[in-house]
Amino acid sequence: MLLVNVVLFSQVTTSKIKGTVTDESGEALFGATVSVLHVPTGTLRGTTAQDNGRYTILNLRDGGPYKITFSYLGFKQ
C-alpha cells in the first residue's frame, strides 16, 4: 500500500487600499465616495466611507499605478 501526502500552497495576488477621509479640520466625512482606478487596465473600484470616515477597497490588482479620487457633496473632487 502506497500513501502519498500532498500539500498545496497558493499565493494571494490581490491588494487592498484603506484610509480615512477627512476635511481640512480633521472632521470625518461620512458617506464620501472613494474611487480607485487601476491606470494600466482602466479597472474602476469604489466604496463609500463609513461613519468614522474610514474606507477599505479589497481585491485590487497587484501593482499599480492607481488613481484615487474622493468626492463629497459641497467639496471639490
Q: How many C-alpha atoms does 47 have within 13 Å on its Cβ side?
A: 18
Contacts of 37 (CB under 8 A, 6+ apart): 43, 44, 66, 67, 68, 69
Q: What does the pLDDT read at residue 14?
A: 84
Distance, CA of 27 to chain centre: 21
Catalogue the E-assigned strands of the chain.
Answer: 14-20, 33-38, 43-48, 54-61, 66-71
Amino acid 22: pLDDT: 93
pTM of the model: 0.78
In the chain, domain spans:
14-71
Q: Which residues pair with 19 in a beta bridge?
A: 55
pLDDT at position 5 is 55
Mean pLDDT by 10 residues, the chain (77 residues): 57 85 93 95 94 93 90 90
- Please answer whether residues 45 and 57 qualify as being in contact, where contact means their C-beta atoms are separated by less than 8 angstroms: yes
